[in-house]
A and B are shown apart, each in its own frame.
Chain A
Amino acid sequence: MRRLIFALCILGICPGCWDLKEINQLALVDTIAMDQDENGKFHVYFQVLNPPSIEARRSGPSKAAIYTYEVSSPTIGRISEQTGMVMARKLYTSHMQCYVISERSARKGLQNYVNFLENDPERRTNVYTVVTEKPVSTVMNSFTVLDRVPGRNIRLLLDWHARNFGINKLPIRMKDIVSGIPFSRPSIIPLIQYTGDRASSKADQLDDINATKETLKLSGGAVIYKAKMVGKVNNEIKNFYYVLNGFATRITETVKVNGETVDVEVTGIKVKRKRETDNGLIIQLEARLGILNNEQNRRVSVQNIRELEQAFDLFYKEKGERFVRLTQEKNWDLLGIGDTKQGRGNWKAIQVKFDIHSKVRFLGNTITPYE
């Protein structure tokens, strides 16, 4: 006992707290953007929080909420070392909100980023990843409104985006790219766009009332196959991808009924796959409809509702068939048929049929539109 106390005392005296890192010695990184130029040189942008300016007690954009550091290095592993040249604090990436990747490096392949990120316990891969078409520096050097920290802004944007699909998390994180590597189904990562012409890198531009003039905006998705970007799709396809693969349970669609427009909210989507023959697959989709906007100038009757349901079923069937044709054309197995026993190796040969059942459940506040 006495010896143990002695040993503990010795232990208490000698260690120098090797892993001690005080909060105010940390550079809290919010977003990391990665880019690789034509010469193969890596450019990494770190957005570092400026704590006093985002503290809860103070309000207003007194100072910049974040600062962006750009670091370049011939190999990605030396980036952290390089940051030591410009940053006076220890890089701390545990509170990352998102990764931004330039289109050109995504097309080159994300394998080396993924390997690097997964290797280090301080980096996380369960954060959102977006691909940007604009130069990374523009995106990274711009302030955003409402949430002055761009990384958090993107994260909240994507969280809200996911919520609109009726799920908590979309499979658009770095780790989803990793775990998607062995599968035949590509992942679709959102593309982010900066709407302004040049970066709004000064905080005083936040005084501009026009919020959408210079801001970040989601537009379409990047198709990532085996950790490599192979193409782009528009929002329509991207959303339908989430629906058909069972991620989304809610979506908004526009249907033409008797030539008039009806906007419906599709909820409670259930997708089932049924093997019909050796090379035939039926995708069954059940959904509830709620009317958001009805432009038909007539009373809503049971008859009319039936028409709406039929129109939706037909519309979705056609949409599904268009989707299948697109996958065939582009050679992207967006339905993941190649990952099933039936379609392994020859997913293109599988005939896909759609079987849609919808039911109108909610009509909204007006039982019938004003004529």
Chain B
Amino acid sequence: MSGSPDLVMKTYIVQDRWEVTCLYLSTLANKMLVDELVISEIVSPHRLQEYDQEPIEWLLSAFKQAEVKKVIGPEACMKELLDGQCLVIPPGMAAVSLEVRRQEQRSVAEPEIEAVVRGPREGFVEDWSRNISLIRKRLKNENLVIEKMTIGTESHTTVCLLYMRGIAQQGLINEFRTRLEAIQTDSILESAYIEEYIQDKAMTPFPQFAASERPDAIAAKLLEGQAAVITDGTPIVLVGPATFFQMFSAPEDYYQRADIATLMRLLRMLAFLISVFTPALYISVASYHQELLPSSMLANLASQREGVPFPGFVEAFGMLIVFEIMREAGLRMPRIAGQAISIVGALVLGQAAVEAGLISAAMVIVVSLTAISNFVAPSYGFGIAQRIIQFAFMVLAGILGFFGVMCGVFFLLVHLVSLEPFGFPYFAPLAPLRLRKWTDTFIRIPRPFMKQNQK
């Protein structure tokens, strides 16, 4: 540590008797605070040392600041130092740490991924304490329990487990705590690290946690009895265990009228079905079950495909891969290049490819429909799951038509009902059937009618 350029170490003579060393990292600590709180207090003390007082006791009482801690041992000292604290070391084995962290962080801003038309505009930031304050602001309740722990042998990341005592099941919380404590890793840089460690060990593309950067959404989930995990250094908060149908509900559902919210949910479910099955249906209809199309449409399609060199499967698969590339490029490319890319994407890949006879016009419709439907899912992680199964279904349709698709559907159903993250059935409330829960899954009834909120 000694070689670090930001390590500031200064020694003062206090009370004319003993030396006090003051240590802090100038990159993490607020120098003003150090000067104001520490130096001034020590060098020109208002209180004199009592005769029989130990130096450390005197120091502890000398600082009027609230967050003063006694630290024992070099390792603990190092930890405090790295956390941005200022250490004041009198003679002896103990030291005093003072909270002088520099509050350098971005301000609370509107969430970029989960924007809403109506609803709060606050989003989480990278600092965990700030995030907790955002949640506390919404749940002014003594039953909101926050358990802080440090994970990562190298990164020492602060991770907080949040839940509502009395609402969340104790078994679930215990399971969460056990799994969090069992994490053996060197670093946690984002909540996704934690997600991978604590999710059930089932191989599945489906997310078992909802991830959100909206404090209101997290607060709502806490009130439903779920547990949240806040990770320092990321604005994304995990909340779980999630179920399949929760992925279709957005926080905004509760901020607008119940009837429109119901329709929106059903629409999202429809969009899920469309994005998963449209390419597979197109492939099976175009290559296996042409009788499904009305005669005139079949003739249209046939004439479009006249001269298209690829079989339907290759065409669909290729186009969707091209779309995935474009999406990935859109995420990574600099904003300035955006316009150029979209022109290339829309004109060159869409229109020109059709006119050049490389793909059929119907295929462009299928791909765009699928692509748009993909983005309807409120949860980004769920959208990724959609894309994976969509490709799987395409392969099945390409091999065996509807039979393959049906095998896939059955496989998917078995897979979904057998998922039970933290012992909570993933496919509820459809299977196992819980009709009472349908009031907030497939439909959303107005809140005054919801039983669970009336207490």
Q: Is B444 an interface residue (CB 8 A)?
A: no
- B306 near A51 (CB under 8 angstroms)? yes
A23 in contact with B305 given A1-B203, A28-B298 (CB within 8 Å) = yes
A275 to chain B, nearest CB (A): 45
How far apart sit A20 and B399, CA to CA, in the bound complex (Å)?
A: 8
How far apart sit A55 and B395, CA to CA, in the bound complex (Å)?
A: 30
- B299 near A24 (CB under 8 angstroms)? no
- B295 near A52 (CB under 8 angstroms)? no
- B298 near A52 (CB under 8 angstroms)? no
- A56 near B300 (CB under 8 angstroms)? yes
Question: What is the number of residues of chain B that contact chain A, defined by CB distance less than 8 Å?
Answer: 27
- Set of chain B residues within 8 Å of A92, measured between Cβ atoms: 290
Q: Is A17 an interface residue (CB 8 A)?
A: yes
- B398 near A17 (CB under 8 angstroms)? yes
- Set of chain B residues within 8 Å of A19, measured between Cβ atoms: 288, 401
Q: Is A22 an interface residue (CB 8 A)?
A: yes
How far apart sit A49 and B299, CA to CA, in the bound complex (Å)?
A: 8
How far apart sit A23 and B300, CA to CA, in the bound complex (Å)?
A: 11
- Set of chain A residues within 8 Å of B301, measured between Cβ atoms: 23
B419 to chain A, nearest CB (A): 13
How many residue pairs, one in A and one in B, have C-beta atoms under 8 Å apart?
72
How far apart sit A52 and B306, CA to CA, in the bound complex (Å)?
A: 8
Q: Is B271 an interface residue (CB 8 A)?
A: no
Q: Is B364 an interface residue (CB 8 A)?
A: no
- A23 near B399 (CB under 8 angstroms)? no
Q: Is B302 an interface residue (CB 8 A)?
A: yes
- A94 near B306 (CB under 8 angstroms)? no
How far apart sit A286 and B409, CA to CA, in the bound complex (Å)?
A: 53
How far apart sit A55 and B297, CA to CA, in the bound complex (Å)?
A: 9
- Which of these, A11, A12, A20, A95, contacts B291 with CB under 8 Å? A95
How far apart sit A19 and B304, CA to CA, in the bound complex (Å)?
A: 22
Q: Is B286 an interface residue (CB 8 A)?
A: yes
- Which of these, B300, B305, B398, B399, contacts A24 with CB under 8 Å? B305
How far apart sit A26 and B302, CA to CA, in the bound complex (Å)?
A: 9
- Set of chain B residues within 8 Å of A51, measured between Cβ atoms: 299-300, 302-303, 306
- A95 near B295 (CB under 8 angstroms)? yes
- A12 near B399 (CB under 8 angstroms)? yes
How far apart sit A211 and B265, CA to CA, in the bound complex (Å)?
A: 55
Q: Quick one: which of B276-291 are within 8 Å of A by CB? A: 286-288, 290-291
- Which of these, B291, B300, B304, contacts A94 with CB under 8 Å? B291
A23 in contact with B286 given A52-B303, A52-B306 (CB within 8 Å) = yes
- Set of chain B residues within 8 Å of A23, measured between Cβ atoms: 286-287, 290, 298, 301-302, 305, 312
- Set of chain B residues within 8 Å of A95, measured between Cβ atoms: 290-291, 295, 298
Q: Is A97 an interface residue (CB 8 A)?
A: yes
Q: Is B400 an interface residue (CB 8 A)?
A: yes
Q: Is B308 an interface residue (CB 8 A)?
A: yes
Q: Quick one: which of A8-49 are within 8 Å of B by CB? A: 11-12, 15, 17, 19-24, 26, 28, 30, 49
A158 to chain B, nearest CB (A): 15
Q: Is B311 an interface residue (CB 8 A)?
A: yes
Query: Beyond A17-B400, A28-B302: 7 further Cβ-contacts under 8 Å?
Result: A21-B287, A23-B287, A26-B302, A51-B302, A52-B306, A55-B299, A95-B298
12 contacting pairs across A/B (C-beta < 8 A): A19-B401, A21-B288, A22-B287, A23-B298, A24-B305, A24-B307, A26-B302, A28-B299, A51-B299, A54-B299, A55-B299, A97-B295
